[in-house]
Structure 1
Amino acid sequence: MSSAEELVDDFRLLKVALGAYGLDADIGNKFYIKKVLEDGTFDSGDLANKLSDKRYYEMAKDFGFGDLGIPGTKISTFGEKTTDAYLERQFEVAVGDQSEEMRLSLSLERDLGGVLSKSISDDGKWFSIMGNPPLRKVFETALGLPSSIGTLDIDQQLTMLKDKTETYFGSEKIDQFSDPDKMEELNRLFLIRSQTALGNAGMSSATIALTLLQRA
């Protein structure tokens, strides 16, 4: 596979590709997906750079159809890496059919780890989190913020997230979650607040404990 057109024309391959980035629901938007991938990520005007959902940016960057002379799909490890990511996310989707909160919990370490590994500023990492719907929901829930903050000015959102993070974790810096204990603390706070919001009919303490053990 050497072009975006080849990818979108093969339903099976497209399903795996989108599933690897948690974008399964968009499989019907072939023209849109093709445009994102063909544009690439190098130019500020590229569609992937304009989208609030940064999972598309990651996909376009990894596939490299619009960026590189030789696309990422030609790298020997690309197929295995993408398939593994797809299978991991499909397990999370299956878990999510029973509990959306458990799915988000299971994906937290991978998704936040991806942000932490970026060589960008702390604010840049915050914006990456804000542009990743699953991560955004984890932070909003853990920090006790309503999803309606998404209607505020982007800089106001950033300030609120940083202030709340400092209140609960002692620092506003995202890199603090490179510490496994801080990552686990974030996960626990998310699960506890989720259970409170759902009420006793939601996740039980045993379910929360099982989820944390699975992650460990």
Structure 2
Amino acid sequence: MSFTPVIPFGGYTGWKFLAKTRAAQQEAFFTSAPQQREEAYFRERIGSIGSAEALVADRRLLSVALGAFGLGDDINNRYFVRKVLEDGTLDPDALANKLADKRYLELSKAFGFGDYAVPRTRLSDFADRILEGYRMRRFEAVIGEQNPQMRFALNAERELGAIATRSISDDAKWFNVLGSPPLREVFQVAFGLPSAFVSIDLDRQVSVLKDRARRFLGSSGVVQFADPAKVENLVRLYLLRSETRGFGAGYSASTAALTLLQNGDASGGLLSRRI
């Protein structure tokens, strides 16, 4: 029996409904026949996979592997995925280290094909760890089929706490946020930033995010998101803004970005550079 999520409302009202029913809906999804079949197939086969070539050759295994890191859209980019996996992560010139989207780095690190003589697929608890991530992200994806904003919100709720508690500088944490397309989307919408925001210098992007975080959430640091209440505040702002999103309407991308750069932004001119 397949699973169909129940989300009768959109926006923040829908989010609150999902919060109340999430445990029951997750249980129904995790125990659904299609999900159980995919998990059983992965458990049975993954221990025999010793190379990136073998993994990308099995579409069902690859689907779970990519899905566990939110990279399911790459299922047909087998050469690219194989390159990411075979390069590993230890060499600074490895492909995963050069990509802005750090989900590829986590994927390559998790499988270890390019880093170790014996890949991590041979470890006894490997299937459990990958399936834990796959299970949660698949639930988010199914929710997203009905309401994409809910999927982004669920992703933010899951990822932000982990980033907030990492032992790295605050700027590095903001770079981690910018390196995650789903998180970037949540912050851009929540903070009223145009799509052309991505075209400005990364250091300036961080400065803007810090300023907007201080203005809307009371603190400029990513560490605040170790507090679930702060994540909830961000999600609420994101969902409310999603319903009324219109920043830059009627303008070209470059015009919208220039408007942002010239509006003062309470940032002391940090965004005065033309693009």
TM-score by length of 2: 0.69
Give RMSD over aligned pairs: 1.5
Task: Report the equivalent of 1:133.
Answer: 181
1:101 CA drift (Å): 0.4
Of residues 54-63 and 66-75 in structure 1, the stretch that sits farther from structure 2 once superposed is 66-75
- Runs of 4+ with >3 A deviation: none
Question: How far, CA to CA, are the matches of 2:218 and 2:116 in structure 1?
Answer: 42
Paired amino acid for 1:48: A
The aligned residue for residue 62 of structure 1 is: 110
3-state DSSP class of the match of 1:197? coil
Separation of aligned partners in 2, 1:186 and 1:27: 31
The aligned counterpart of 2:139 is 91
**Quick one: distance in 2 between partners of 1:167 and 1:112?**
19
**1:184, distance to aligned residue in structure 2 (A):** 1.2
- Does 1:175 find its partner at 2:223? yes
Q: CA deviation at 1:113?
A: 2.5
State how far apart, in whole Å, the 1-side matches of 2:73 and 2:99 are.
16
CA distance in 2, matches of 1:113, 1:75: 27
Letter in 2 for 1:195: E
CA deviation vs aligned residue, 1:137-158 (integer Å, no higher than 9, x gap): 1111111111211011111111
Note the alpha carbon deviations across 1:22-63, whole angstroms, 9 max, x for none: 111111111111111111112221100111111101111111
Matched, 1:123 2:184: no
Match of 2:245 in 1: 197
> Residues 25-40 of structure 1: matches in 2 within 5 Å?
25-40=73-88
Gapped regions of structure 1 (runs ≥ 5): 199-216
- How far off its partner does 1:115 sit? 1.9
The match for 2:63 is 15
Q: What is the letter of the counterpart of residue 11 of structure 1?
A: R
Aligned equivalent of 1:110: 158
Amino acid at match of 2:95: L
Contact 2:161/2:227 (CA < 8 Å) preserved in 1? no
Q: Which amino acid aligns with 1:14?
A: L
The CA distance in 2 between the partners of 1:66 and 1:110, in whole Å, is 28
Aligned residues of 2:66 and 2:72 also touching (Cα < 8 A): yes
Pair 1:148 & 2:196 matched? yes
- Deviation by residue 1:51-94 (Cα, 9 ceiling, x = unmatched): 11111011111111112333222222221221232222222112
Work out the CA distance in 1 between the residues paired with 2:95 and 2:54: 19
Q: Distance in 1 between matches of 2:207 and 2:216?
A: 14
Encode CA deviations 1:91-126: one digit per residue, 9 max, x unaligned: 211211111101111121212233224322211111
TM-score by length of 1: 0.86
Identity of aligned pairs, percent? 51
- Hey, what's the Cα distance between the residues in 2 that align with 1:117 and 1:74? 29
Letter matched to residue 15 of structure 1: S
Rg bigger for which structure? Answer: 2
Q: What is the letter of the counterpart of residue 171 of structure 1?
A: S
Contact 2:190-2:238 within 8 A present in 1 as well: yes
Change (3 A) 1:117 1:39: farther
Which one-letter code corresponds to 2:239 in the other structure? Answer: L
Corresponding residue for 1:5? 53
Instruction: Kindly indicate whether the alpha-carbon contact (under 8 Å) linking 2:161 and 2:228 is maintained by their aligned counterparts in 1.
Output: no
Deviation, structure 1 residue 176: 0.9
